[in-house]
Structure 1
Amino acid sequence: MIRAGILFSILSVFPAIFGWYQDWLGLTPAQEINLAIALVVSFLWVTELIPLYVTGFLVLFLELIWLIPGWGPGAPKTIVFLSCYFSETILLFLGGFVISSAISSYGLDAAIARFVIKNTNGSAFLLVLSLGFATAFLSCFMNNTATAAMMLGLVSSMMKSLDETSPLRKSILFMVPFSANLGGIGTPVGTLPNVIGIAYLQEKGFQIGFLDWMAFVTPVFVFSVFALSGILYIVYLRMEKSIQSIRFIQMQEEDISISSPKRKLSILVIGITIFGWITSDWHGVSNGTVALFPVIVFFGSSLLDLKEFRNLSWDVLILMGGGIALGKAFEETGLAKHFVGMFMLGESSQFGLFLFFSILSLLLSCFLSNTSVANLILPITMGLPSDLILPAAIGATIGASLAMPLPVSTPPNALAFSYGGIRSFEMVKIGGSISIVAWTLFVIVGGLILNQLQIVDFSNF
């Protein structure tokens, strides 16, 4: 694999050195270098030949030592690319990481999950449905993989009492990862593609408020979780309607070493932050600035300590910065517009591009990570005419998170698959079905709300 990576990198860079991309594709020197960099880092993101965050640094390195020097007159200053690594969007996601850390540190995630699961009244269907909504809700603010791992851990003792062929066990192993994926689209900080998409849009001057985002996405993932529950009931749970005879998960509260006042203060800080995000359109303070509040309060008041600070996902922030910097290069060099012109995408309608990019992202995300897909596709949407950017970017962003048919499609899928008892073709059947349903709901329900909110204009199909 390493040899293949070196070979691909050489083959990508070699034509740029001799100006062949200019002859083949009609590019400028800066666009040619930009294309070579994009090919190399995209390959590394897709194959994960080196850690993703290292590739994030590599983007900046190549832009500073190759792109800017080879640009010629009119080259941007280095700060244009350096600022991508600590932008408004990075601050927003940093705040999300801190909230996620607090939720885990103070046992709030487990408390929510236990409360929901405990009230299922012995019904297998209600247990699975409750697991789905608890997982989806937590995934709106926590890492999808961490949420799936926590929820599966909560029911692991129950699953041990079930045979691997048990319909209930299979249903749990499908519900948890798929609802984690679905819940991730629910807020701007729910998953990496959301943040990457918002970052690109902000660079182009488009602002989607926290509340507006939730307004068009929340119905999509809520209906999708209901639909997933229906699918699992039809396929599995009709054969196992009761869990009265099963040794159920112990629901006693775990001992929390943190004092109750600190726990209550953490809930207050999280609540104020979420309220600040939701009402950002009213008070005028940007979401990134609001995100600084939990960072300062949690670490300034010792609600979280230096260990938690060091354990934040700084690697993910660097990865995001690399994706934003690559997109910035596409914008500055005009490479995105060049590709849009080549494929005549600028002649399509808003709804047509909304459909096209959502389908393209979904199909690619079946085999690639949704973060890689977002980094690959979103730069192209930025080259569209200004009135077409928003629907295309939203379609690409959400579409990347709706692909769930394979164990490799998302980390939560792989985690659930590792528990054993489910086969690939079963995941393709259930995951493929909910991917189609969720995409359909996104296009119809999400598209209708987007149009009603006048964020997009789908009046002309």
Structure 2
Amino acid sequence: MKFSHQLQFNVVPEWVDYYLAYDNLKKIIYQVEKDLVAAGASNDLESGSGSPNQGEPNERSGLLSTGARSQARARANNMFLPALDRELEKIISFYFKKERELYGEVDALAADIEFVENFDPSIPSRSAGSGSKAPNSGSVRKTRSRNNSRASRHSILARSGSWRYDEALAHADAAAHNTATEAVQDVGHVPNPSSSSTFVPGHGEVGTSSQISTSIVTDVEPETPRDEDDEDDNDEDDAKSMWFDPEMEHEKMRFRHNCIEMFVNLSELQAYAKLNCTGFSKILKKYDKISENNTKKVYMNQVVLQAYPFKQETTEKLQGQIDRVRDIYARIFTNGDTEVAKRSLKMHLKEHMVWERNTVWRDMIGIERKSQAVGVRPSSALKTGPINISTPFGSIQFPEWLTGNVWTLLLCCLVFAILLNIELFEGPEQQNCFAILVFASLLWATESLPLFVTSLLVPLLVVMLRVMRADDEDHTRLDSHAAAKKIFSLMFSPVIMLLLGGFAVAAAMSKFHIAKAMATVVLSKAGTHPSAVLLANMLVATVASMWISNVAAPVLCFSLIQPILRTLPPGSSFAKCLILGIALASNVGGMASPISSPQNIIAIEYMHPAPSWLEWFTVALPICLVCDLAIWGALLWVYQPSSNTPTISTIRSTKDPITGTQVFVCVVTAITILLWCFEHQLEWLFGDMGLIAIIPLLAFFGTGILTKEDFNNFLWTVIILAMGGIALGKAVESSGLLHMIAEAVQDYVEGFSLWVVLVIFSGLTLVIATFISHTVAALIILPIVAQIGATLPDPHPRILVMGAGLICSAAMGLPVSGFPNMAAISVTDELGTPFLSTKDFLKTGVPLSLVATGVVITMGYGIMLALGF
């Protein structure tokens, strides 16, 4: 793996701006290479025999010869080495700041634990007055009573924890800022232990690190050694038994979280130093290769390795703090066994790295690709050999590729050919369009081709079979040229732009951890009772689905609950309950906003006039809330998690500071949502909500917050799928087939009320969406529903379309019913065993799908009628 890729996939996301700017330095080296080659070519031409070809540089040309090359080398050193110095200065400043901050937290943790172990109620609390101090360990141990009150210990623990932690952080931040500012005043001057200057060729005098290391080391307060003489065996036994007291469980859990967090942060700081040191070595090696110099040896030994973050004593000091946290963890949780403590902490570190390195957006893309396209067969399946089928007339051999989806595809093509040649309708436009409609529906349902490939096939067939008609009174059949222009103009509708705007908002919120930060803050307040934790996670999943889609929301939530799943007792039913709750709540969240799922986008396409965001929220949010509460109650009743899991580990909220970029993303998102909500009032200015969707695209990509790579990572398969669905719907409408189907269906529903028609189509939509993709179900059903609604005696097409669109998200009875269910069935424990099975979805998903459908056709129907849909 190239180091640039290694650096990209191993950085701590919150520290990304403080790593070595490896790619920028490579660009400087490339520019240096151009200058050196140009200088070499110029020098050879001047000294050559006059033939231009003789002066061309080749693999034997010396890049660092005299004359122009020597000047180019000096320019290269003056360009590259100062840039390297600036990167080193940045790394020193950041490392020192993080070191002081983390060391202060470790000191606070150790002091808290020592204070609670040695607390004596007869000694006044330090929080009793502003000038009071915590008693030292010697006096406490000598005067401590053997009969301390547990209640007193708990109350003092709460006060001491917050006091020490806040004071330590404030002191560390202030000291880090002052010392780091003084330590790196001069760019490139990093002293060595002998305080002598080092001369790097072409760079001049480069300082050594005695000045910086002296100021840093002297400013770091040495750890106060514990007074071992004051401890006796009875005190140690008391402290040990105190931590294994059941009434100390809550305090132990708090200290456990703190130990894990500090171990992870210190390990990340250790990896930060190692990765940057490797980066300096790699970039200097690349520079020396281009410039034919020996800069690496001099710069690494006399500058980089003498800088504070990379000194041997700094590394040992950091390792000592890591061991200190490990020992604290071992004393409290593993009965003093440091090896068990080390393994446990490393397991937490591995889990944290998996979450940080695999971003939500990358995981979302992976799941979407797996579900939207035909999976690639394993290599073993590709070598199965020919297939032999025995018949009474002998054995028939089929090629190995003629299996699986190929047979299904051939069957679909056969049905398509038959429908093209059977006269079911009067006009050829309706006949051909019906064949295309059935053919595309079969391909989408069977996934013989990837879903987006089928969507690309739709406009091709529509134009070649000439199913489009003009909008005049005679409905003239369009030729291929006119049909192509019309169908392509219809495919890229404002709704597609709305989808792109939603993707931009989701990408920005995922990339800068806004969704994660909001979710962890809410979940950290959920407490430890299973029912409260379940409800909090479900509500977070629903709200996250509103803004980052119901594809990314379950991926985010499943990552956040990993610490809970790992600490559950064996056989706990809460694991199934929690995973199912997040999956079903994410499905419900697919109703919540117009951009939360593709089926909502398709529904808006067939609603005239399109509902504003405010109208959508008015209908969808009460439905989502009632459905979530129903799911919550059903899961608690079915799995009864409190019976075998009385308490749950809490999720830690993120402590990362809010950045200016995060504020900007939130402001742009809020403005965009407000404009979407009041789009009808601003129609004179924007014309359509699709135009408003350009605002986040311009704001995020124009400022560099999102990059070209982020744009390439959009769910383009979903966009193509939606465009193909729009093309099919417009073709069915233009050919007159939709009108004929609507008339036929209208004969069956004649005399039925609007609500009964909604119930009929809701049941049909629920069945189709349960077995195939929610989006595909919307593509097939919604055009027909819209036409039927428009032809009713009391026309309410928007009620039928929105009701059917919402019920697409309510279909959650099988593992294949939507992205959240597919993500849930793939969640496994540490041994790779899935938490859920199909039986769990049948037991809970099917009845809850019916409950959600009932909520839509009752409460949702009433709200839509009240809004005048």
| Common fold by TM > 0.5 | yes
CA spacing shift, 1:63–1:122, aligned 2, 3 Å: same
Amino acid at match of 1:432: V
Matched, 1:332 2:731: no
Structure exhibiting the larger radius of gyration computed from Cα positions: 2
Give distance in 1, aligned partners of 2:678 and 2:749. 34
Task: Pick the aligned partner of 2:675 from 268, 276, 285.
Answer: 276
Alignment map for 1:63-102 (pairs within 5 Å): 63-68=462-467, 73-75=476-478, 77-102=483-508
Paired residue for 2:527?
A: 121
Give distance in 2, aligned partners of 1:289 and 1:250. 40
Give distance in 2, aligned partners of 1:149 and 1:166. 22
Deviation at 1:55, TM superposition (A): 1.3
Paired residue for 2:414?
A: 11
Give distance in 2, aligned partners of 1:345 and 1:97. 41
Structure 2 SS opposite 1:401: helix
- The answer to whether the 8 A contact 2:524-2:651 is kept is no
Structure 2 SS opposite 1:323: helix
- Deviation string 1:321-358 (CA, Å, 9 cap, x unpaired) is 00011000111011112122223256243222211111
Across the aligned residues of Structure 1 and Structure 2, the Cα RMSD in angstroms comes to 2.2
- Deviation string 1:309-331 (CA, Å, 9 cap, x unpaired) is 11111221111000011000111
Alignment map for 1:279-358 (pairs within 5 Å): 279-284=678-683, 285=686, 286-343=688-745, 344-345=747-748, 347=750, 348-358=752-762
Amino acid at match of 1:60: P
Give distance in 1, aligned partners of 2:670 and 2:806. 26
Give distance in 2, aligned partners of 1:252 and 1:243. 26
Amino acid at match of 1:276: L
Amino acid at match of 2:561: V
Matched, 1:399 2:813: no
Structure 2 SS opposite 1:312: coil
Give distance in 1, aligned partners of 2:568 and 2:699. 44
CA spacing shift, 1:451–1:311, aligned 2, 3 Å: same
CA spacing shift, 1:164–1:55, aligned 2, 3 Å: farther
Matched, 1:134 2:574: no
Deviation at 1:391, TM superposition (A): 2.7
Structure 2 SS opposite 1:296: helix
Give distance in 1, aligned partners of 2:469 and 2:416. 13
Deviation at 1:240, TM superposition (A): 4.2
The farther-off stretch of 235-244 and 438-447 is 235-244
Paired residue for 2:582?
A: 176
Amino acid at match of 2:567: S
Give distance in 2, aligned partners of 1:70 and 1:372. 25
The farther-off stretch of 91-100 and 384-393 is 384-393
Structure 2 SS opposite 1:415: helix
- The answer to whether the 8 A contact 1:122-1:242 is kept is no
Give distance in 2, aligned partners of 1:400 and 1:367. 11
CA spacing shift, 1:367–1:6, aligned 2, 3 Å: closer
Structure 1 SS opposite 2:437: helix
Matched, 1:370 2:778: no
Amino acid at match of 2:454: T
Task: Pick the aligned partner of 1:416 from 796, 804, 824.
Answer: 824
- The answer to whether the 8 A contact 1:124-1:237 is kept is no
Amino acid at match of 1:304: L
TM-score by length of 1: 0.91
Amino acid at match of 2:622: P
Give distance in 2, aligned partners of 1:176 and 1:423. 15
Structure 2 SS opposite 1:173: helix
Matched, 1:192 2:594: no
Task: Pick the aligned partner of 2:622 from 215, 219, 230.
Answer: 219
- Deviation string 1:244-283 (CA, Å, 9 cap, x unpaired) is 4x55444444x68xx8111110110011011111111222
Identity of aligned residues (%): 28
Amino acid at match of 1:168: F
- The answer to whether the 8 A contact 1:140-1:184 is kept is yes
Paired residue for 1:380?
A: 784
TM-score by length of 2: 0.49
Deviation at 1:145, TM superposition (A): 2.3
Deviation at 1:217, TM superposition (A): 1.1
- The answer to whether the 8 A contact 1:349-1:388 is kept is no
Paired residue for 2:434?
A: 35
Give distance in 1, aligned partners of 2:570 and 2:609. 49
Amino acid at match of 1:267: C
Give distance in 2, aligned partners of 1:268 and 1:70. 46
Give distance in 2, aligned partners of 1:346 and 1:336. 16
- Deviation string 1:390-409 (CA, Å, 9 cap, x unpaired) is 23222321111101111111
Paired residue for 2:229?
A: none
Give distance in 1, aligned partners of 2:444 and 2:824. 23
- Deviation string 1:48-67 (CA, Å, 9 cap, x unpaired) is 22221111111111112223
Deviation at 1:189, TM superposition (A): 1.1
The farther-off stretch of 161-170 and 104-113 is 161-170
Paired residue for 1:458?
A: none
Deviation at 1:5, TM superposition (A): 3.0
- The answer to whether the 8 A contact 1:123-1:241 is kept is no
Paired residue for 1:459?
A: none
Give distance in 2, aligned partners of 1:100 and 1:208. 22
Give distance in 2, aligned partners of 1:69 and 1:80. 8
Give distance in 1, aligned partners of 2:654 and 2:786. 51
- Deviation string 1:121-141 (CA, Å, 9 cap, x unpaired) is 212111110101111001012
Task: Pick the aligned partner of 2:663 from 253, 264, 273.
Answer: 264
- The answer to whether the 8 A contact 1:125-1:237 is kept is no
Amino acid at match of 1:320: A
Deviation at 1:236, TM superposition (A): 2.3
The farther-off stretch of 324-333 and 364-373 is 364-373
Q: Point out where structure 1 has 5 or more consecutive residues left out of the alignment.
A: 456-461
Give distance in 2, aligned partners of 1:329 and 1:394. 21
Give distance in 2, aligned partners of 1:336 and 1:210. 28
Q: Count residues with an aligned counterpart.
A: 444
Give distance in 1, aligned partners of 2:700 and 2:461. 36
- Deviation string 1:6-30 (CA, Å, 9 cap, x unpaired) is 3333323323443x1x2xx334100
- The answer to whether the 8 A contact 1:270-1:294 is kept is yes
Deviation at 1:416, TM superposition (A): 1.1
Deviation at 1:89, TM superposition (A): 0.5
Matched, 1:146 2:560: no
Paired residue for 1:448?
A: 862
Structure 1 SS opposite 2:609: coil
- The answer to whether the 8 A contact 2:810-2:849 is kept is yes
- The answer to whether the 8 A contact 1:360-1:396 is kept is no
Matched, 1:44 2:447: no
Amino acid at match of 2:642: M
Give distance in 2, aligned partners of 1:332 and 1:46. 24
CA spacing shift, 1:109–1:247, aligned 2, 3 Å: same
- The answer to whether the 8 A contact 2:572-2:641 is kept is no
CA spacing shift, 1:356–1:68, aligned 2, 3 Å: closer
- The answer to whether the 8 A contact 2:542-2:588 is kept is yes
Give distance in 2, aligned partners of 1:238 and 1:263. 37
- The answer to whether the 8 A contact 1:337-1:382 is kept is no
